[in-house]
Amino acid sequence: MPNPNRRHITVILDRSGSMDRIKDDAEGGLKAFLAAQHGHPAETLISLYQFDHRYDVVYEYRPLTDLPDFTLLPAGKTALLDAIGTTLTRMQDHLEAMPDGERPSEIIVVILTDGHENASTRWRSRTAIRHLIEEQTRHGWTFHYLDATPDAFTNAAHLGIRPDTTLRFSTDRTAEALARLGRVTSHGEQGFTDDDRDATSH
């Protein structure tokens, strides 16, 4: 049986070249998002992955109280589907190997991107990604999708992510978007409010 006092948050962060314009806001917003998690009573483990046309594990299953510093170094293209598919299958394998008493009862996946998919080579099918996400949603995982493109809600729907957990944000409100997400996740809320959407758009 999963541990009711443990949860796991995974962040899949776009670091493609276009993120250079919001580098500082993304770094500051991520810090604010993580700081907000201290308000949740459960033990929280954090995994951070970043991607352009490559994929990097920044850290995995680290206690919230012991996270290393992080610097975003934007470069390259946007292999969004590869990043999502690789992360979710990696998580599945890791969680299946955990003893029941160590497995978190709450799993949150955060995806943040400012551009369109243009570089995936392994996971080219949105349908395959959608099946992965829908399967884990049925198992109780929560997916939050933050997208700076005008097609944010369409992109999320193609991935199988609900509109209430999707946020279309303006690039100059990146830090605010992550701070708002911090409130949602640390207070056990499921989706974004109209106020959240107003505060993160022009």
> Is residue 191 domain-resident?
no
> Is residue 26 domain-resident?
yes
For 79, phi then psi, to 5°, come to -95, 70
> Is residue 99 domain-resident?
yes
Predicted local confidence at residue 125, as pLDDT: 94
> Is residue 151 domain-resident?
no
Amino acid at 101: G
8-56 pLDDT, tens digit each: 999 999 999 999 999 999 999 999 999 999 999 999 999 999 999 999 9
| Distance separating alpha carbons of residues 160 and 117, to the nearest angstrom | 16
The pTM of the whole model exceeds 0.95: yes
> Is residue 28 domain-resident?
yes
Mean pLDDT of the chain: 96
> Is residue 86 domain-resident?
yes
Contacts 24+ apart (CB under 8 A), 152-159: 155/116, 158/126, 158/130, 159/84, 159/126, 159/129, 159/130, 159/133
Predicted local confidence at residue 190, as pLDDT: 78
* CATH code of the domain containing 92: 3.40.50.410
> Is residue 198 domain-resident?
no
> Is residue 145 domain-resident?
no
> For residues 86 and 47, is the Cβ–Cβ distance under 8 A?
no
What would the mean pLDDT of 184-200 be, rounded to a whole number? 92
State the CB neighbour count (10 A cutoff) for residue 66: 8
Q: How many domains does the chain have?
A: 1
Domain enclosing residue 106, as ranges:
3-125
* 3 state SS of 181: helix
Dihedral of alpha carbons 156, 52, 11, 70, sign = negative
